[in-house]
Structure 1
Amino acid sequence: MKHLDLDIYKAYSGEEAMEWLRRTKIDIVITDIRMPKMDGIQLLNAIYKNWPQCKVIVLSDCDQFEYIYNTVQYNCTRYILKSEDPDRVIKAVEDAVNEIQKTNEIKGLIHQAKEQINMAKFLFQKDYLVQLLHGDSTLKINKYHFEQLKIPLNPEIPVILVMGNISNIPKNLTYWDKMEYLCSIKLIIEQKMGIYMSNVVVMDENYRFFIFVQPEELLTNISSHKAQDIYYEKTISFLKEIFKMIQTACKEFNHASVHFILTGVPCRWEEVFREYDYFNQLINYRAGTDLEMLMIDNHILYNKTEKMTEDDIYLDGLSQNKSLDWIKAYFRSGQKETFFELLDQFLNPIKKVRSKNNGLAIELYFKVALSLLSYINERNLTNQLASKIDSSKLMRIDLHDSWEEAVEYLKLLCCAIFDLQSEEKIDRTNKIIQLVQRFIVEHINEDLSLVKLAERVYLNPSYLSRLYKQVTGENLSDFIDQERIKRAKELMQTRNIKINEIGKLVGYENAASFTRFFRKMTSYSPQEYYDLLLDQDRH
């Protein structure tokens, strides 16, 4: 008998049992149907009201249907007659324990799964915000995505952006030690920031910390613009003091010198990448010192923009977009329509520029051009493009009479690349079909199952079936049948091969199966068709 390690409580009445149930959680209850003051049915009702997962074993010397019916209404209840073998009760307890253990294991797996999902969401959250810093224009910024990624901020109101840079990361650290060092600093920042305001801290690929901050008052209340300005000013003033505390803590615990750069005013989420670029410029202002510094970027930020026209400011924003990976991504996936929508967003503003010497227009043009050149070289498309467009003009702005002409050239080049992709796709598809057909013809006497054919061209069987139908307009099985009957007729023309041998040579080991197949395809049996050929020869 299996040994069970259980805590046992004994009660002499239903009321006493209820007292135990009120004082502690009970996993298994063994009870009689009839007890003083409270019978077993009443006890069951009370148990499942408070502890619905509790397992109950009901004992009785009564086999009346009413009692059995009333107890089995509960999923976790077993009904045992007192007259039955005592081992039956022990077995019921063992089963109940096993069920509890299994339930606990499932709960543990669910908890583990939830933890992994939360960890994954944290990684996705970091990737999302870092891509936002890089200006990925394909990202959607809305409440739904923020909620899904558990970003505790509001995408509809401006955000204060802060950069923290460590100037003295120890050299010769292993990767793991470096991550531990950086994570400890990130933890200090999160702990200090979390006490006072809503924020998210992420680390970019250059091991710099970026903190997204919003006043808590604006996350729960709708306020006027004037009130919002007051809250943001108060938050920025407060941040200055918090960063001094963080710098002191990092110095004491990690000997780390952390420099912070803080935007003097909040920015819209769509313009975060511009702030990121300004931070990259401002970080050089601390050269030559390892003292902790807090820098506010208002002066440099607005001196720069005040000297620019409205169109230049827009071009500047586009040119700061470091991530043009979508160009390759959409080429690879063949999403032509979406690709050109994004390309227009980048290139159409250049058309308004009159001067060919506009530095921002030149920078933006070459960002796109270099991404295209990279993809062309990656796919080795230079020679193929030569028959469609002069690709030598890609890196020669001087060969275009205007920015409008230059933009149209880039679009034509992109069209040519998509056309090549389409042609290559058709060519690859035709080669697959030809390879399958050739294999069938050359191995007509072998197993020609869809699985085997799919293995020959490294495709999923169902996909191969759909692809063949889409390209040829007929089922793959029909082609196999046509080739088999064609080969069978050719063999019959020789007159010196037996019919059962012909069946084997076209893939039918069983003569009856070959006969059914032949009649289905020709309306004749093999022998009738053979006799028909002989009759034609006589005449």
Structure 2
Amino acid sequence: MRILIVDDEPLVRIGIKSAIDWEAQGVQIVGEAGDGEEALQQIADKDPDVVLLDIKMPKLDGIEVLRRVREQQLPVQIVVLSSFDDIAYVKEALKLGAFDYFHKPDMNERELTAMLRSIREQLGTSGTPAPPTVVTQGSRKEQLLYEALEGKVQDLSETSLEEGNMYIVLFKIKNYRTVIQRYTKETESVLPSTVQNVVREMLSKEKEVEYLQLDVQHSCVFISNSEHKSLLASLNRVNKLVQMISSALKRFVNIDIVLGVSDWFEGYSAIPAGYEQAAKALSHHFYHPDTSIFYYQHLRLQGESALKQADAYVSQMKSALREEENERFLELLSRWEAFLEQEECMEERDVRKVYEGLLFMIGGDDGKVESGAEHSGGFEDIEDFRGLAAGYRKLFEDRLKQRQRLLNKGYSQLTRSIMEYIEEHYAESLSLKLFGELLHVSPNYVSRLFKQEVGQGLFDYINELRIEKAKRLLRDYRYKIYDVAEMVGFHNQAHFAIVFQKYTGLSPKQYRKEEV
């Protein structure tokens, strides 16, 4: 198998090349590229079987490279490399035919070898791509519907949709993370295919209706009502279909869904706007977890004034934290949450970002890092505002108590913030540039101040902490040495061994033998 590595960061490319023994895996790395234009040229020249493709790059980004690969029908598999904040790009990449994706901070030997195994299974034992398959009617229709959501509606005559009294219905599986726990890792892919089969079967006899599964949790239904002259009759039909879908999935799959229904629109060209309306309606489930159907036309849309007031509360909370006025911060937090519950003026993703930003400012360590939770407090499973608010309030109160204890150690606020961030994120990639951006100071200032106050270099401090965490983990034989390396922030086992030897005088294997 021939692989091309594409990433604009040389260190990432080096890390990938050194992550596993590629030759032992039967893989030849035929080249590497630092931008999208170079990637396309290398694909043409080197004829790789697989491309590891970064999403965000200069000249041409990964999405545009994917588009051109698809347009030219190049026989190559694309595996996308992304950061944690690139999920919208990842979804777009998968729509464009990417085979899979990796979060770069999480890449490890097992993930890479599993990816190679999956690709081999698809390509066959020869290691060369299978010839392009004939586009079926179903896949052609799905492509047209995807494009319609983006505004490309010229070929919708190939679907059953007709212009006139059209609606978009968007639905999601309620409490998805809980639902998916019913399945094993090997069988969890059964759920989306089951949902798709049930909905398609139920809608198969309906006129002017099309179904599109967007991802494992979300689906979209396109409805037109050209035979109905009145808006009331059209809406009644939409309501009937919505109830049918909800009942069928509850009966046959035992799942609950939440639905957002757009306002009516007249023609194909308004489909993207209808989709946005349906998504806006669906998003209100965040504030009303006991409601299952939301209509855009019934929403109380907020003006700029409500959003400005919410932002003002956020600014005041940040100011209180900077001034270490903890009681005032908690009081402002209560006011902000009460205001949001009344006005519903912030989207869920923005609310979560505010909470995560406040959590970063507070800092501290709640002990969740070693159990696998991220710095957001492990609240990804909570889908409603009240639950999220309660969870974060408890976490904030605990962290503020920890923060107060640190105040007595004599460090500046900036150094305390660095140490708190390291304590919580030691398993991630850390750099002076990252701390400079997070704290709005120059990287050189971060390095100089930290060494001056703590008495050792920043990266000595980070490595020392990582090795202390690793020593505890090595006492547990459930973890392989490469597992421990990854868990404490080393994505290269050899590098981990070198650093471990430096700080302990022993190799990880020797340490484990002596301690256990």
What is the TM-score with the length of structure 2 in the denominator? 0.29
Q: Larger C-alpha radius of gyration, 1 or 2?
A: 1
- Looking at both structures, which has the greater relative contact order when contacts are Cα pairs under 8 Å and sequence separation is at least 6? 2
More helix by share: 1
What is the TM-score with the length of structure 1 in the denominator? 0.28
